[in-house]
């Protein structure tokens, strides 16, 4: 056996312990399925170990769509800091994403999307691309065919209003007085999901100020009729929800004219304090790009100059979202995912047979332990007495730890033999307590908040793009249930309520909806391992229905795939799409958990994964299999193509991870106060 080299540091690591993946033929073609899987495990393990950062974390690129890049240029234009190098690098990336028909999509292989195409077009105009250039003329013609700027979403028209390309009075009103709504009142800011809340508060300031910077060029070519660029929108019937909220918006426009100046000024100042209090240590807001962009604009409108520490830190944080590619192109990440990537990588490597005390796993555990959040955040508005203890998704996001990451980090930590087990146990106890305390009243779990299910925010005319609430989902609930099972809490009443909710949420065809991954394959690949970990046998009717559905949607090539269109056209697209490494792995993880190790479906899936692996141990995956907002905002997590195939292959070669009896015994010995949540 040879030593492994860590590509990040150049350091030589101790040899791995012998496992089923060693001493196998050098090519999959020369091996049987088991041997091909073992070879793939060995290659993928070495590849993933080589990608660890010297501090202990993993992070793959988080690819979304070109609106991130376009809005970054528009922000720089608005602030007067746009430079030629950044502009041309962004333009190079945006041009490279344009489709043959002149449009831009929101995911690989997807259809052209109007607002995305408008923003990309405007960004290229900023970069100097002439409107009569063939690629630009093709885009503008398509935009006009789709209804022009007037048919675009609100957020696109806000960006255009900043430069006078759209009228502020023709946008939905968003009053800053919203900051004063008490938590019991509908449409208070805590009725919105945390990502929407962080965006809406600064936008109330922008909406109140209605700034306009001189436009560097006209956009007449993007209107169906340049003489009437802002055509009135028809009102929905009064008796409908949409009609009611449209009329509320009209009332808010009228209120703007009579709002007491002292009240408005006080509301704006309160919103500004709310924003500044939530700036993270690295200068960002919520670890995601959109709230940071709008927060910078809002504070700038209130007189914060670009050298103010808050502004300087905010702009520096935005620079860290940039990924510079070898060809000189610059892609903007909407977010960064080191905690999520690190816990998933740790689980994958452990399940692949890497020794539990391997130095790189211990280093990963050390880093994750240092990332635990031990102060309250916005979640404590609904859970004021619950002690903190969760983990966030990003490098810095102490205000918004999330339930999914916390569950997976606990599962990862339990796979590592750490030199300070007491420290691990203490961190895990805090994480378990926090997750239990964040259970919603229906027995399930959302991603960031408790009972974030108000029906009103999604009805606002302002909220015409993606989800703005955070209701419980099957995938997050499944990960929590799985974690609780591994902590010996399968029979805890709160775990059983989660299991009951999951069983009730199963689709008639046997699948589960995937909120944070595409889609029914992700949901099913999350739920089945959780249910079996919690004690449901493979013969349970729900498990058998899930197995039958997965077998029915397996592709002819042996893999699994699902297109994002399943979010919009579920009956036609559920479980259907080109085979991908991550989605094939999710299906295999469910089938293996259900006891289907020797089935033909599993064998064909393993063969597909082994054959699709590249010589360096990696996989390629251009398709988007992550979800921000179902259908509206999609994500290609570049590490998904590595961690999930390795997890599935590792479990096929080494068997399913075993629920720790020692942990179960320890849980049984704990006092109720140690595991009590705040439900």
Question: Which domains, ranges and CATH numbers included, belong to the chain?
Answer: 28-60+337-452+473-675 (1.50.10.20), 63-332 (1.50.10.20)
Q: Per residue in 62-101, pLDDT tens?
A: 999 999 999 999 999 999 999 999 999 999 999 999 999 9
State residue 31's pLDDT score. 54
- Retrieve residue 180's tokens: 């004063």
Helix (H) or strand (E) holding 67: helix 67-79
Classify residue 305 by its DSSP letter: -
* Residue 247: band (very low, low, confident or very high) from pLDDT cuts 50, 70, 90: confident
CB 454, CB 448: distance < 8 Å: no
Maximal C-alpha separation, the chain: 79
Q: What is the 3-state secondary structure (H, E, C) of 504-525?
A: HHCCCCCCCCCCCECCHHHHHH
Helices 493-505 and 520-533: crossing angle in degrees, nearest 10, is 140
* Residue 223: band (very low, low, confident or very high) from pLDDT cuts 50, 70, 90: very high
Residues 6+ apart with CB under 8 A from 444: 472, 473, 474, 476, 477, 498, 501, 502, 505
Confidence check: pLDDT of 193 > 50: yes
State residue 239's pLDDT score. 74
The predicted model scores a pTM of: 0.91
The β-bridge partners of 62 are: 637
Helix (H) or strand (E) holding 654: helix 640-654
State residue 652's pLDDT score. 97
Give the residue, 59 or 572, on which the prediction is more confident: 59
Burial class (CB in 10 A: 0-12, 13-18, 19+), 157: buried
How open is the CA angle 144-146-150, to the nearest 5 degrees?
A: 75
Classify residue 288 by its DSSP letter: B
State residue 235's pLDDT score. 74
Confidence check: pLDDT of 22 > 80: no
What gap in Å lies between CA 155 and CA 174, rounded to an integer?
12
Confidence check: pLDDT of 525 > 60: yes
Segment 317-321 shows an average pLDDT of: 93
User: Mean pLDDT of all residues in the chain?
Assistant: 91
Please state whether beta strands 330-332 and 322-324 pair in parallel, antiparallel, or not at all (unpaired).
antiparallel
Most confident of 267-271, 318-322, 662-666: 267-271
Residues 6+ apart with CB under 8 A from 184: none
* Residue 1: band (very low, low, confident or very high) from pLDDT cuts 50, 70, 90: very low
* Residue 229: band (very low, low, confident or very high) from pLDDT cuts 50, 70, 90: confident
Q: Per residue in 451-479, pLDDT tens?
A: 999 989 988 887 788 789 999 999 999 99
Nearest Cα neighbor of 475 from 590, 377, 578 is 590
State residue 664's pLDDT score. 43
What gap in Å lies between CA 363 and CA 342, rounded to an integer?
11
Active site residues: 404
Confidence check: pLDDT of 249 > 90: no
Q: Per residue in 624-668, pLDDT tens?
A: 999 999 999 999 999 999 999 999 999 999 998 875 443 444 444
What gap in Å lies between CA 679 and CA 673, rounded to an integer?
13
Residue 394: HSE in the Cβ half-sphere, 13 Å Cα cutoff: 23
Query: Residues 402, 408, 414, 418: is their CA dihedral positive or negative?
Result: negative
Q: What share of the chain is helix, strand, coil (3-state, %, to 5)?
A: 50, 5, 45
CB 152, CB 144: distance < 8 Å: no
What gap in Å lies between CA 295 and CA 289, rounded to an integer?
10
Q: How far is CA 493 from the centre of its chain?
A: 30
CB 53, CB 67: distance < 8 Å: no
Q: Per residue in 405-442, pLDDT tens?
A: 999 999 999 999 999 999 999 999 999 999 999 999 99
What gap in Å lies between CA 282 and CA 392, rounded to an integer?
14
Place of tokens 């065919």: 145
Kindly report the backbone phi and psi dihedral angles of residue 50, in degrees, each rounded to the nearest multiple of 5, phi listed first: -70, -15
* Residue 346: band (very low, low, confident or very high) from pLDDT cuts 50, 70, 90: very high
Confidence check: pLDDT of 250 > 90: no
- Provide the percentage of residues in the chain whose pLDDT is more than 90: 84
Query: What dihedral do alpha carbons 406, 411, 414, 418 form, nearest 10°?
Result: -60
Nearest Cα neighbor of 559 from 510, 615, 620 is 620
State residue 624's pLDDT score. 97
State residue 21's pLDDT score. 42
* Residue 241: band (very low, low, confident or very high) from pLDDT cuts 50, 70, 90: confident
């Amino acid at each position: 056996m040879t030593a492994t080299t860590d590509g990040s540091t150049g350091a030589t690591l101790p040899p791995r312990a012998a496992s089923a993946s060693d001493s196998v033929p050098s090519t999959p073609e020369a091996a049987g399925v088991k041997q091909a899987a073992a070879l793939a495990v060995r290659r993928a393990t070495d590849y993933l170990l080589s990608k660890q950062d010297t501090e202990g974390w993993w992070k793959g690129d988080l690819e979304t769509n070109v609106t991130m890049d376009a809005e970054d240029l528009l922000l720089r234009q608005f602030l007067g800091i746009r430079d030629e190098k950044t502009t041309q690098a962004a333009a190079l990336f945006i041009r490279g994403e344009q489709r043959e028909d002149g449009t831009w999509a929101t995911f690989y292989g997807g259809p052209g999307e109007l607002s995305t195409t408008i923003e990309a077009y405007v960004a290229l105009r900023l970069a100097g691309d002439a409107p009569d250039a063939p690629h630009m003329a093709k885009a503008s013609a398509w935009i006009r065919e789709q209804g022009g700027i007037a048919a675009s979403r609100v957020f696109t028209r806000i960006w255009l209003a900043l430069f006078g390309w759209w009228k502020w009075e023709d946008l939905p009103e968003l009053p800053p007085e919203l900051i004063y709504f008490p938590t019991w009142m509908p449409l208070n800011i805590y009725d919105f999901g945390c990502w929407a809340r962080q965006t809406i508060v600064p936008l109330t300031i922008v909406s109140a100020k209605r700034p306009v910077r001189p436009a560097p060029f006209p956009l007449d070519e993007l209107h169906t009729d340049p003489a009437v660029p802002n055509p009135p929108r028809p009102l929905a019937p009064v008796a409908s929800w949409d009609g009611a909220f449209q009329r509320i918006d009209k009332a808010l426009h009228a209120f703007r004219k009579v709002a007491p100046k002292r009240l408005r000024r006080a509301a704006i100042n309160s919103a500004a304090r709310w924003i500044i209090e939530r700036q993270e240590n690295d200068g960002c807001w919520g670890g995601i790009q959109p709230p940071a962009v709008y927060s910078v604009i809002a504070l700038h409108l209130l007189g914060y100059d670009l050298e103010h520490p808050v502004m300087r830190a905010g702009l520096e944080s935005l620079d860290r979202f940039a990924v510079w590619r070898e060809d000189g192109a610059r892609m903007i990440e909407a977010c960064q995912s080191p905690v999520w990537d690190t816990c998933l990588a740790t689980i994958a490597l452990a399940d692949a047979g890497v020794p539990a005390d391997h130095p790189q796993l211990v280093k990963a555990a050390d880093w994750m332990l240092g990332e635990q959040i031990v102060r309250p955040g916005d979640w404590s508005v609904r859970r004021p007495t619950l002690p903190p203890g969760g983990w966030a998704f990003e490098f810095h996001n102490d205000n918004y730890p999330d339930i999914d990451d916390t569950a997976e980090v606990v599962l990862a930590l339990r796979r590592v033999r750490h030199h300070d087990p007491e420290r691990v146990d203490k961190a895990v106890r805090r994480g378990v307590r926090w997750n239990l305390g964040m259970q919603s009243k229906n027995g399930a779990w959302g991603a960031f908040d408790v009972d974030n299910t108000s029906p009103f925010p999604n009805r606002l005319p302002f909220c015409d793009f993606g989800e703005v609430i955070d209701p419980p989902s099957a995938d997050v609930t499944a990960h929590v249930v799985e974690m609780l099972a591994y902590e010996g809490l399968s029979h805890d009443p709160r775990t059983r309520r989660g299991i009951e909710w999951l069983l009730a949420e199963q689709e008639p065809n046997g699948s589960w909806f995937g909120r944070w991954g595409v889609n029914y394959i992700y949901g099913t690949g999350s739920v089945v391992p959780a249910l079996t970990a919690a004690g449901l046998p493979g013969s349970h009717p729900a498990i058998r229905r899930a197995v039958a559905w997965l077998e029915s949607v397996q592709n002819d090539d042996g893999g699994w795939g699902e297109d994002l269109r399943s979010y919009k056209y579920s009956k036609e697209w559920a479980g259907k799409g080109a085979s991908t490494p991550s989605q094939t792995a999710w299906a295999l993880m469910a089938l293996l958990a259900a006891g289907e190790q020797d089935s033909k479906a599993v064998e064909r899936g393993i063969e597909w994964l082994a054959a699709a692996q590249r010589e360096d141990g990696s996989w390629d995956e251009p398709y988007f299999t992550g979800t921000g907002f179902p259908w509206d905002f999609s994500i290609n997590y570049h590490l998904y193509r590595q961690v999930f195939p390795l997890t599935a292959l590792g479990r096929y070669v080494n068997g399913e991870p075993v629920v720790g009896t020692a942990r179960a015994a320890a849980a049984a010995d704990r006092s109720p106060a140690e595991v009590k949540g705040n439900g």
